[in-house]
Amino acid sequence: MANTILVGAQWGDEGKGKIIDVLTANADIVVRSQGGNNAGHTVIHRGVKYILHLIPSGILRRRKVCVIGNGVVIDPVALVREIEGLQKMGIAVGKNLLISDCAHLVLPYHRVLDEQRELLKGHAKIGTTKRGIGPAYGDKAARTGLRISDLMQPALFSKKLQAKIRENNSILQALGAKPINFCEVKEAYLAAGEKLRPFVANTVVWLHRALQRDRAILFEGAQGTFLDIDHGTYPYVTSSNTTAGGACTGSGVPPHRMDIVMGVVKAYTTRVGEGSLPTEDATLADMLHEMGREFGATTGRPRRCGWFDAVAARYATMINGIDELAVTNLDGLDSVDPIRVCVGYRLEGKRLDVPPSDAAQLEKCEAVYEETPGWKTSTQAAKKFSDLPEAAQSYVQRLAELTGAKLTIVSVGPTRGQTIVL
Ligand code: IMP
Ligand code: MG
């Protein structure tokens, strides 16, 4: 397999976890390069449901090495919980996991600050996962963050942590929030740090050695294009680069070593949290929720739902350089008739082909739809493209055509077997 960057081409939750799990069969190494435990990747394997937050989904396959790269922010206590949870479920986690010594730490004050800032924002809140992601990346950019390498040096870590807690407690007190207890945090983090020690490495050098030996690397994106800190619907975004470039900076693998970018889209659109969703449709959301679909893997929140947005998908193809397209959750539309696809936006009488950069303008955009008849039959047993009802075939082909990328995967259910490779 060529080195592949896999990105979400919508607002996250495109079904990346399952596609990564399928692609991992042909990869040697799977790398996470951004985000933290705000992510929730659901994979169903042999009837068992796994939800991964920080560990690459590749961990579920034997003889694959998973790397948590320098661009990820790590809550060490949550990571230990995730490792031990997988081990209890019979998944081997040992030499197959590497953690970058340069990755930044998420600390308890980040979580409290995340919560407090959301409260202060009131109606203008972002709807974050409250995992402390924004404040942790904030400290990283302000050059005041603590990293895994600090955690590996207990005396140094304690000293730096004490200063950081003192500084943050004065902010928390001013906000009327409970101060953080230094000793408790120190103990919990150092204990987690000892459990993580065997996994910690200079992952940049390790990845370059693997490249020299022609190992195939899969870069697993978390969240989606429109949650990107630079290219998303700012300020309703996450705090990392979720687009293809993030795979380079977040892993130390240079751009010219990347071969293919695969974009993942749902056959419709969903979003968790606040911010515009031009194709949002309450009736579609009710239908999907009644089917038990579209509840957040990390927070359990019902996701907002809408029709496929080709304006957004086309933009995502441009920003990421998407070569290949995977369409997931096609079966979610099995009973929907007719099906709509957004082919343009209308803003103050003008037709737009690209999303406006400004959040207030995007909020005012009206979707322009194209309507196609549904197929009104289950697609879940389809093994090859020709097994799909004709209306479903032309629907996904139309999505690829509007998006401008080559259709290579269609997913019709959560299991590995429910994957059509074209
Ligand atoms: P944060 O990443 O927790 O700061 O949240 C910022 C925004 O990104 C919120 O709208 C979240 O709902 C959204 N978000 C963060 N992680 C994910 C994800 O893995 N899937 C979908 N949405 C996400
Ligand atoms: Mg998710």
Indicate which ligand has the atom closest to the C-alpha of 14.
2
pLDDT of residue 420: 98
pLDDT of residue 404: 96
Which architecture, in CATH terms, is 104-196? Orthogonal Bundle (1.10)
State the distance from the centre of ligand 2 to the C-alpha of 301, rounded, in angstroms. 11
State the distance from the centre of ligand 2 to the C-alpha of 39, rounded, in angstroms. 5
Taking Cα atoms as reference points, which of 57, 70, 63, 59 lies closest to residue 28? 63
Which stretches of 299-369 are DSSP H helices?
Answer: 310-320, 359-364
Ligand 1 pocket test: which of 7, 128, 270 has the largest number of ligand atoms within 8 Å of its C-beta?
Answer: 128
pLDDT of residue 298: 83
Tell me how far apart the alpha carbons of residues 140 and 301 are, in angstroms, rounded to a whole number.
28
State the distance from the centre of ligand 1 to the C-alpha of 273, rounded, in angstroms. 7
State the distance from the centre of ligand 2 to the C-alpha of 53, rounded, in angstroms. 8
**CB–CB of 266/339 below 8 Å?**
no
pLDDT of residue 79: 98
Q: Could you tell me the fold of the domain covering 4-101+199-262?
A: Adenylosuccinate Synthetase; Chain A, domain 1 (3.40.440)
**CB–CB of 333/391 below 8 Å?**
no
Closest residue (by CA) to atom 10 of ligand 1? 273
**CB–CB of 146/105 below 8 Å?**
yes
**CB–CB of 337/373 below 8 Å?**
yes
Q: What is the 3-state secondary structure (H, E, C) of 202-227?
A: CHHHHHHHHHHCCCCEEEECCCCHHH
Domain ranges of the chain: 4-101+199-262, 104-196, 265-421
Selected from 3.30.365.10, 3.40.50.800, 3.90.170.10, 3.20.20.70, the CATH number assigned to the domain covering 265-421 reads: 3.90.170.10
Q: Which ligand 1 atom is nearest residue 299's CA? A: 12
Closest residue (by CA) to atom 21 of ligand 1? 12
As averages over each run of 10 residues, the pLDDT of the chain (422 residues) reads 96 94 95 96 88 93 96 98 96 97 98 97 95 98 98 98 98 95 98 98 98 97 98 97 98 98 98 96 96 90 97 98 98 97 97 96 97 97 98 98 98 95 95
Closest residue (by CA) to atom 8 of ligand 1? 238
